[in-house]
Structure 1
Amino acid sequence: MLVENITDLVIFVAVIKVGNLSAAGRELGFSSAVVSKRLQRLEEQLGVRLLNRSTRKLCVTEEGLRYHDYCVRVLAELEEAETLITSGHSQPKGTLRVTVPAAFGRLHIAPLVPEFLRRFPELRLSLHLSDSKVDIIEEGYDVAVRIGDMKDSNLVARHLGIDRRKVVATPAYLRKFGTPNTPDDLAYHNVLLFANPAPLDHWQFIDPEGAPCSVKVTGNFETNNCDALRAAIYADAGIALRPVWDVWQDLKAGTLQVLLPEHTHPSFKIQAVYPSRRHLSQKVRVFIDLLCESFGDTPYWDVTT
């Protein structure tokens, strides 16, 4: 038995998203009475209760949760089918929701926004900068930029670059406190730690012979904010382990110096990821294409270091 009206599914998904009938109605342009009637019709047709209603709140039943997941996928497939048919005849339209790590987004994604909007004037871009790893399917994002191993098998990834790390400090700090010659020498230095969420106080190295080692580092400052860490570095407060994409201009200018250059660090993938679907939506495709075009096979931050 098929649902008589696809709008019923849209209403049901909207109610789950916003949590009440009135707000869902306002979002979709229906009265709360119409929303209630459509939900009742959907439940009668399915023969199950999807929502438990009270005067204060709505509670989704177990059947409702399962049905909601299917509805989200069905509606996404319908949207993509429409996009697939019309993509050869029109510009991408609608809202593209993107989430990226805060510092990487500020440095490398935000500068591309004007060109992206110029090329695709019928798109609205919602760009979320956060170091919290969100569930892009659950929270409704179309695409995310991720740094690190991808553990979610429900996502498709496209390579953007490599996240390489360097130990750095200002020349002024090194003149005052000396330059470490081995990873073990870091024990005699103040190390500025990035915390996301816990302080990254065990630094991994690979020596010139290819042997791995781990060194515990300590210091008087930790933060989960890249700008705050940068400020501490430039206050000559200590040594830090930073991604090349964050400090490539500083290294090129000589305002930061690479330490222990003969020791490398484990690198991580930088990827654009999106929900696994049979057809990649046009708006996601053009966004990822622009990133790949801008970064190239070897991103500009790697070329200059």
Structure 2
Amino acid sequence: MRLPDFEAWAIFAKVAEAGSFSRAANDLAISKATVSKAVTRLEARIGARLFHRTSRRLALTEAGHAARVGAARILAEGETAEAEATAAAAEPRGLVRLAAPMTFGVMHVAPLLPAFLVNHPAVLVDLHLADAVVDLVGGGFDIGLRIAALPDSSLRARRLCDVRRSVVATPAYLDRHGRPKHPGDLAGHACLGYAYLPSPDRWRFTNAGGEEAFVTPTGPMRANNADALVPALRAGLGLALQPDFMIWDDLKEGLLERVLPGWSPPPIALHLVTPPGEPRPARVTSLIAYLQRALADAPWARSQES
């Protein structure tokens, strides 16, 4: 019985992540020839090509896509095992890859990182921002922040705080068009839509009595990033369903106003998620603990009590 070629699988995972033999070689501090030989050796071993190679482009084959998640897991678990087996693992040191939603990451995660980095000068943070759900395991991420009602999965999730969402508009817009009292009233309003809602073409609300109401929003604009709706919202072009972490300042200052008293969209929360497996390097556990403390006590989360 032959042992798996763990080195080749780890190198393949790094090439798949970097999208380039040269970048993978730089990341691993080895030669491009060594990277190329490892991938060729692996392809010969499994009897299938892992990449389509041209002079200008490198792309995963179907076999490469199928192997990528497992290879990324081998690389991540190997890095963890090595980190834990050395004295350096006791000190936060090395790269942490962190994924977060775009607007939330810019507004509330990036401002937290300087203080963490000052206190942990040997740690590097690679912050990846995207509103689409990121594959933590396949993408090689150590930590993810997600704002949703999380489905069951193999990921480990820690609930940090609730995220209140409200239908809001400027007072001027509401003075002109009226203040909706029931979700059904939104049919007569311009609604600014967010494409990454679980059901972007159907807004659902409930009241304290358990009554449900469904609305098909229509309006002049829709975007796949909620921050892109803010200028139109502030310009009084319509209403939008927005989370407090984006609008709490505007609400405090009276620039925006909540509507539909007594009605709420489905509850969601901020979660910190990590791939399965223990133990984790100190660099990862340190950032996890820091983010838990900072985000669970965020002022926009406390503002939900008002």
Tell me which interval the TM-score lies in, with the shorter structure as reference length: 0.7 to 0.9
Q: 1:180 to 1:20 in 2, by over 3 A?
A: closer
Instruction: For 1:109-128, list aligned pairs within 5 A.
Output: 109-128=109-128
Residues 180 and 186, structure 2, Cα contact 8 Å, conserved in 1: yes
Residues 204 and 266, structure 1, Cα contact 8 Å, conserved in 2: yes
In structure 1, the residue matched to 2:183 is: 183
In structure 1, the residue matched to 2:301 is: 302
Unaligned 5+ runs, structure 1: none
Residues 157 and 274, structure 2, Cα contact 8 Å, conserved in 1: yes
Q: 1:222 to 1:3 in 2, by over 3 A?
A: same
- Say yes or no: does 1:98 pair with 2:98: yes
CA distance in 2, matches of 1:261, 1:54: 56
Instruction: For 1:39-78, list aligned pairs within 5 A.
Output: 48-49=46-47, 51=49, 56=54, 62=63, 70-78=70-78
Residues 194 and 224, structure 2, Cα contact 8 Å, conserved in 1: yes
In structure 1, the residue matched to 2:227 is: 227
CA distance in 2, matches of 1:179, 1:20: 55
In structure 1, the residue matched to 2:173 is: 173
Unaligned 5+ runs, structure 2: none
Moved more, 216-225 or 171-180: 216-225
Q: 1:84 to 1:205 in 2, by over 3 A?
A: same
Q: What is the number of equivalent residue pairs in this alignment?
A: 301
In structure 1, the residue matched to 2:149 is: 149
In structure 2, the residue matched to 1:162 is: 162
CA distance in 2, matches of 1:147, 1:155: 14
Q: 1:208 to 1:253 in 2, by over 3 A?
A: same
Residues 164 and 266, structure 1, Cα contact 8 Å, conserved in 2: no
Q: TM (normalized to structure 2)? A: 0.83
Residues 6 and 74, structure 2, Cα contact 8 Å, conserved in 1: no
Q: 1:194 to 1:2 in 2, by over 3 A?
A: same
CA distance in 2, matches of 1:32, 1:294: 41
The one-letter code matched in structure 2 to 1:301 is W
Measure how far apart 1:145 and its partner are: 0.8
The Cα offsets for residues 228-280 of structure 1, whole Å up to 9 and x where unpaired, read as: 21111110111111112211122222221111121122111211111111223
Rg comparison, structure with higher value: 1
The one-letter code matched in structure 2 to 1:123 is V
- Say yes or no: does 1:242 pair with 2:242: yes
CA distance in 1, matches of 2:107, 2:79: 32
Measure how far apart 1:151 and its partner are: 3.6
Measure how far apart 1:79 and its partner are: 2.2
Residues 80 and 279, structure 2, Cα contact 8 Å, conserved in 1: yes
In structure 2, the residue matched to 1:210 is: 210
The one-letter code matched in structure 2 to 1:303 is R
Measure how far apart 1:128 and its partner are: 1.5
CA-based RMSD of the aligned residues comes to 3.2
Q: 1:133 to 1:88 in 2, by over 3 A?
A: same
Moved more, 20-29 or 256-265: 20-29
* SS at structure 2 position matched to 1:138: helix
Measure how far apart 1:282 and its partner are: 2.1
Q: 1:200 to 1:301 in 2, by over 3 A?
A: same
* SS at structure 1 position matched to 2:91: coil
CA distance in 2, matches of 1:102, 1:5: 37
Q: 1:23 to 1:51 in 2, by over 3 A?
A: farther
The Cα offsets for residues 129-165 of structure 1, whole Å up to 9 and x where unpaired, read as: 2112221221222211111133462311111211221
